Amino acid sequence: MTFQKESGSEAASQAEFVQLFTKSQRRLYLYILSQVPHPVEAEEILQEANVIAWTKSSQYRSGSNFFAWVCQIAHFEILKHRSRQKRTKLRFSDEFIEQVASEVVEQVDELESRRLALKHCLGKLRDKDRELIQSRYAPGERGKDLASQIGRPANSVYQSLGRIRRTLMECIQRQLAVEFH
């Protein structure tokens, strides 16, 4: 994609492409991650797919399904990655990977809606509840360690976390019900 002087429709087309490209990044990463066991490898494949999508941007047709188009590019990059990894002893069959990929594409919108609902609901929690739940789910954190850090009995922390999780689940369900009805 070049950014030299273009006509109005070419500039609009480029702007649409950039907007769709940017908006699809998280979903595309999740699609790739569903088929590649390591996040670092998924990031590398995402970058390779992004470069190809960018260089083939003129082939994208405005109004068509951008996510399906970019997933097809990522699919071929995943296949290349898998062929380079053939020496690995633990390997899923191509059929299994295809099935997982298909299901991810079908579920990616729902999962993104759930993520956004969770983000909204976390924002509605009391500050101390939000801090507790975020501390508990910080990488490498364990409930017993958290309890000793904040000076509360483990049982008390587990009860609080259970109450917060129920609150979040109910909020998410309400949020999704509003969104889908």
Please report, for residues 3, 35, 75, 109, the alpha-carbon distance to residue 102 in angstroms, rounded to integers and kept in the order given.
35, 10, 11, 13
pLDDT digits (tens, 9 = 90+) for 68-118: 899 999 999 998 988 877 765 556 677 877 787 777 777 877 878 888 899
**Main-chain dihedrals φ then ψ at residue 150, nearest 5 degrees:** -95, 0
What is the Cα–Cα distance from 160 to 58, expressed in whole angstroms?
53
User: Is it the case that residue 158 has pLDDT exceeding 70?
Assistant: yes
User: Is it the case that residue 162 has pLDDT exceeding 80?
Assistant: yes
User: Is it the case that residue 23 has pLDDT exceeding 70?
Assistant: yes
Q: How confident is residue 4, by pLDDT bands cut at 50, 70 and 90?
A: very low
Contact 168, 122 (CB under 8 A): yes
Domain assignment present for residue 98? The answer is no
What is the Cα–Cα distance from 8 to 105, expressed in whole angstroms?
33
C-alpha dihedral, 79 to 108 to 41 to 49, nearest 10°: 60
**What does the mean pLDDT of the chain come to?**
84
pLDDT digits (tens, 9 = 90+) for 170-179: 999 999 888 7
Domain assignment present for residue 32? The answer is yes
What is the Cα–Cα distance from 120 to 101, expressed in whole angstroms?
28
Residue 153 tokens read as: 């009995």
Domain extent at residue 118: 106-180
CATH of the domain at 70: 1.10.1740.10
Q: Verify that 53 and 120 share a domain, yes or no.
A: no
Q: How many folded domains does the chain comprise? A: 2
For the chain, give the percent of residues with pLDDT over 70. Answer: 89
The label of the residue with tokens 């290349």 reads: 80
pLDDT in the model for residue 87 = 63
Q: How confident is residue 146, by pLDDT bands cut at 50, 70 and 90?
A: confident
Domain's final residue, options 70, 93, 116 = 93
Q: Verify that 14 and 71 share a domain, yes or no.
A: yes
pLDDT in the model for residue 78 = 92
CATH of the domain at 119: 1.10.10.10
Q: Verify that 48 and 19 share a domain, yes or no.
A: yes
Q: Verify that 71 and 15 share a domain, yes or no.
A: yes
pLDDT in the model for residue 1 = 46
Domain's final residue, options 50, 68, 93 = 93
Largest Cα separation within the chain, whole Å, is: 67
User: Is it the case that residue 7 has pLDDT exceeding 60?
Assistant: no
